[in-house]
Structure 1
């Protein structure tokens, strides 16, 4: 049976994914087992933060964890603003690209141990990353454990009213690597249906993209929507260590 870690291993071992990030362009797809292809927007991910992205970042509060940060445009934009931010991604190419842009990133899955668990002010699940692991309830539970009480989750959802759990490969339409792994596609209504125990903090559409904001339990704020930050939390000092793969990463 596939597990969230199987998803991480599939992305980490996907040569087409790493190659696309290093080239800054596609084509790149998630291929469903029935042959259906979901295009991945590599060019947009590898560009700088666009106006829609920047609006999302204006709504972030305090220290921000970008889950599945990809090539790091959001982490780099936050760093340029002087905000405390960390990206995580299972792809070595993604982490390297983020560092080149001036952002901090670790090569890890969201389901592994992470710095600052239970103390992040905002977690981002952008660019379809609400699908990580193929189990929205498990992912939301994990994110709740990463956030401080009352912390903010901002997730990008599918434009269509969809609630789909599938098995996919990563492919550039020429090479397909590894075993299929679980993925999910959620519209806003489906996401809100899974978010039991969360407080709704807003939903909006911009540039053809759809977003929802949720607050974790025990909110300490009266805000009814995701607002621009009123403070900037500071990530504590980090030191370098080596992973089992011998790559230096930041840890606490």
Structure 2
């Protein structure tokens, strides 16, 4: 398996394509990830574009300190966090996703997780929800990158695939309207609970919680080799002001007060 981080630039193309933008604009599908063998993975656009549900909130309640939502999509989680008093930022490579997140009252930045991010090394919690462990097609590389984004002892909340699956494939975004092969292929991954646990342990993440809500499996991790001290906890709590200073100027006023 490659240990090189995927380049940031090409990841913008597929999620900026018309099928994805149309789905987020309308708030509904159909929308799929199509594998090269024709197999289709339905994307739950309606749920993504709705308010955070009980399963989402079961994860968000575990958030600590400032939160970064990686692959925030249309922003329901960022908006829910803001409503709960958390300092939160969504990042996504889709301009349509960023626009919708901001209209929902969340703060968001068009950025790949593999590019430089505001507040690197100071975030209290990172989210990889809605299958976003698949970003870049290499879960180990993604987990390694997330570790550099979080503060020492920071928390990763992630969602596994609901089936025992472990695959790294090339896919296209497909809504049934575009000619076959019109959308560019890109690497994606799916990992069930067992696979996700194996990837996390290989990258020195320690599982600290596991639960299921509405048929969706969630896991929480911390870096296994990091000891969270009282001083580190205080530093994480104080990091909100530092993170705020690193946001783009047009976003900083929208960042809510830090909460827990």
TM-score by length of 1: 0.88
1:101-180 matched pairs, under 5 angstroms: 101-175=104-178, 177-180=182-185
Determine if contact 1:83/1:232 at 8 Å carries over to the other structure. Answer: no
Partner residue of 2:68? 65
In the alignment, structure 2 segments of 5+ residues that lack a partner are 231-236, 253-260
Q: Secondary structure at the match of 2:185?
A: strand
Structure that is richer in strand per residue = 1
Runs of 4+ aligned residues of structure 1 deviating over 4 Å after TM superposition are: none
RMSD over aligned CA atoms reads 2.3
2:221 paired with 1:214? yes
Structure that is richer in helix per residue = 2
Distance 1:238 1:144, change over 3 A: closer
How far did residue 232 of structure 1 move?
8.6
Determine if contact 1:7/1:182 at 8 Å carries over to the other structure. Answer: no
Question: How many residues in Structure 1 have an aligned counterpart in Structure 2?
Answer: 237
Cα distance in structure 1, aligned partners of 2:54 and 2:218: 14
Cα distance in structure 2, aligned partners of 1:121 and 1:3: 24
Decide which of 44, 49, 52 is 1:46's aligned counterpart.
Answer: 49
How far did residue 199 of structure 1 move?
1.1
Distance 1:5 1:132, change over 3 A: same
2:191 paired with 1:183? no
2:108 paired with 1:100? no
Partner residue of 2:258? none
Decide which of 203, 207, 210 is 2:210's aligned counterpart.
Answer: 203
Q: Show CA shifts across 1:75-100 (max 9, x none).
A: 00111111100000000010000101
In the alignment, structure 1 segments of 5+ residues that lack a partner are 223-230, 242-247
Decide which of 23, 27, 31 is 2:26's aligned counterpart.
Answer: 23
Determine if contact 1:13/1:178 at 8 Å carries over to the other structure. Answer: no
